[in-house]
Amino acid sequence: MAEQPIALRPPEHRVERRAIGLWALQSVFGFAILSGLILTAYLIFDSARSWLGPILVVVVVWGAVVTVVMPVWRYAVHRWEVTDDAVYAVSGWVVREWRVAPISRIQTVDTTRGPLEQALRLATLEVTTASSRGPIKVTGIDATVAAQVAAELAKITQRTPGDAT
């Protein structure tokens, strides 16, 4: 009997609402560094002020728009689900990426928590397969849920036959 192919379908779970804050903070920090570098150059190089000033204004305005819009948009898009057959994930905000990893192809399962994620009690679940597209990353999961999912995936993959390549 042939195994049924795993269908690409919308995953069931949303990421945590706190992920909006994570993405907003990451955006603020990134644009603050970029704006700071441009401002420093503006203050140091008198001859470049005529063109650095407008660039600084554009970066600050664009940073404000991205910081307000991007986190909410990503929250609306990002979804994930783990079943006995596969890991499903949808991510992105400009370009949406739909990923599915059959359980039999999983090589490693990791959780990571950067400083901002730790402060917000969030984690990133990373499921690695032999795919050339790289691991499936689900950012913005509650840290406790991510640990439970990683443990459950470890159990599922141990009892699932496959070559994990």
Write the pLDDT tens digit of every residue in 139-148. Answer: 999 999 999 9
Q: Is 156 exposed, middle or buried (0-12, 13-18, 19+ CB in 10 A)?
A: middle
Q: Is 118 exposed, middle or buried (0-12, 13-18, 19+ CB in 10 A)?
A: exposed
CB 34: neighbour CB atoms within 10 A? 15
User: Of 87, 67, 141, which Cα lies nearest the Cα of 111?
Assistant: 141
Maximum separation of any 2 CA atoms in the chain, in Å: 75
Write the pLDDT tens digit of every residue in 112-140. Answer: 999 999 999 999 999 998 877 889 999 99
Contacts of 37 (CB under 8 A, 6+ apart): none
User: Of 74, 161, 91, 89, which Cα lies nearest the Cα of 128?
Assistant: 89
Write the pLDDT tens digit of every residue in 8-64. Answer: 778 999 999 999 999 999 999 999 999 999 999 999 999 999 999 999 999 999 999
